[in-house]
Amino acid sequence: MAHRVGIIGLGTVGSRFVEQFNLHDDFDLVAAWDPDDSACAAHAQHATITSDADAVVAAADVVYIAVPPLFHRDYVERCVAAGVAIFCEKPLGIDVTESRELVDLVESSGLAAGVNFVFSAAPSATKMIDLVQGGELGEIVHSDLRLHFTEWPRAWHAKAQWLRLRDQGGWIREVLSHFLFLAQRALGPLSLEHAAVTFPDGPSGELCESDATARFTSPRGSIVLMGTSGGAGPDVVDLTVRGSLRAVRIWDWYRLQDADTGEWSDLLGHDRAELGAAAYAAQLAELAAMVAGDPTGIATFREALNVQELVEALLHAD
């Protein structure tokens, strides 16, 4: 029998999961709601729109919380109170102290709960982890993480302008967090050694970061970050792990390549649409396992907290 799933939040990411849940045999999308009436109306043909968030929680076996991070705690607490499984969008929150309390609450509840880091199940990520930890790269020397966004927020974020503000938005929280999660799974716990972040309207302004550099350390070597936004040229999302024998990288989100001293070679194919679809299918398969009480690779709330601590330390670096 399919798991009854509800969605709170029908913005950019929530909309994507309306489609994904409707395509997946393990889920029956039974309820959805957004505080914006126009967002609810836009999805009325593909989901049962409820009167409020509590009605979503009451109808579902598992609730996907796809609202901005400032509101995650509220809806997670409602799910815990109702005894409903939780699938929360990342980042877990913006206040580390509150998030630590929330993780303690979720863990003590015993409920099935996870956070939507796409690299918890994407084939590119799981294969990279196998290569790094299996010794195929040789001794790990160091890793490079490069991010660039020609515009931020990106075009498909037109209805999520909170992403341009530093109180809860920015590409460090929204994108870098995915790669820090993956790096921790592949390389082990990360520590922020030093960092510098620039904000276009100064340290007391409202706009999110425009560039960031940082160095992290791990049990498998250092990771050097260089991230920027603004300026022409294609977007870049590239995590490269360099060993003594080979290097492996994830770029364009889902493409996995390796190389020695020659050209990069695709390991899982090069069709971006197919690789993206495979990543979503794998994530929902892991989510179904989580709800069923089976072993799963879905990111835990504790892992999400670890990433949040790194992100907020970076954003508040002196």
**What is the structure's pLDDT at 2?**
95
Q: CA of 24: how far to CAs of 3, 55, 77, 112, in Å?
A: 10, 23, 27, 19
User: What pLDDT was estimated at residue 112?
Assistant: 98
Tokens representing 214?
């940082």
CA distance 70 to 73: 7
- The Cα-based distances of 100 to 73, 97, 106, 300 in angstroms read 11, 5, 10, 13
Token look-up 């799981």 returns 126
Across the chain, what does the average pLDDT equal?
96
Nearest to 73 by CA among 49, 50, 55, 95: 95
Average pLDDT over residues 275-303: 97
Confidence (pLDDT) at 155: 85
Q: Is the pLDDT of residue 295 over 90?
A: yes
Give me the pLDDT at residue 235, please.
96
pLDDT in tens, 82-127: 999 999 999 999 999 999 999 999 999 999 999 999 999 999 999 9
Give the pLDDT score at 160.
82
Residue 51: is its pLDDT beyond 90?
Answer: yes
Check residue 174 and give its pLDDT.
96
Backbone torsion region of residue 69, taken as left when φ is above 0, otherwise alpha when ψ lies between -120 and 50, otherwise beta: alpha
Write down the pLDDT at residue 158: 76
Residue 68 in this model has a pLDDT that exceeds 80: yes
Residues 6+ apart with CB under 8 A from 37: none
Assign 159 a pLDDT band (cuts: 50, 70, 90).
Answer: confident
How many CB atoms lie under 10 A from the CB of residue 314? 23
For residues 48-57, average pLDDT: 98
> How is 72-128 classified by DSSP, letter by letter?
HHHHHHHHHHHT-EEEEESS--S-HHHHHHHHHHHHHHT--EEEE-GGGT-HHHHHH
